[in-house]
Amino acid sequence: MSLKDEFLVALQSGQGYEELRSLARRHVHAGLQGRAAYDELEQIWLDYGFNDSDDESDFRNNLEAVTERLWYFGRP
C-alpha cells in the first residue's frame, strides 16, 4: 500500500501524530525519498481542500504536522 493510501486510512481512523509520524518513517526507511513522501502527503492536503480553508481539526493538524516535518527535515 502506498504511503498516501495508508496514511489516509490512519488519519480517517483517528490515529495521532506519533502514530502517523511512525507510519511515514517506516515508508522512508523502506526506501521512499523524503520529498516523495512529502508530495504524497501534500496531495492529501490538496484533495481535502485544506489549501483553501482555515478550518481546524485533528485530521488537518496531524496531517500538517507530519507534512511540515518532512518539508523542513526531509524525514518524518
What is the count of structural domains for the chain?
1
Average pLDDT value over all residues in the chain: 95
Nearest CA to 20 out of 7, 39, 3, 1 is that of 7
Predicted structure pTM score: 0.92
Question: What percent of the chain has pLDDT above 90?
Answer: 91
pLDDT of residue 75: 87
Mean pLDDT computed over 21-41 = 96
User: For residue 24, what pLDDT band results from cuts at 50, 70 and 90?
Assistant: very high
Q: Which residues contact 62 (CB under 8 A, 6 or more apart)?
A: 11, 15, 16, 17, 20
Q: Which domain holds residue 8?
A: 3-73
Mean pLDDT computed over 40-44 = 97
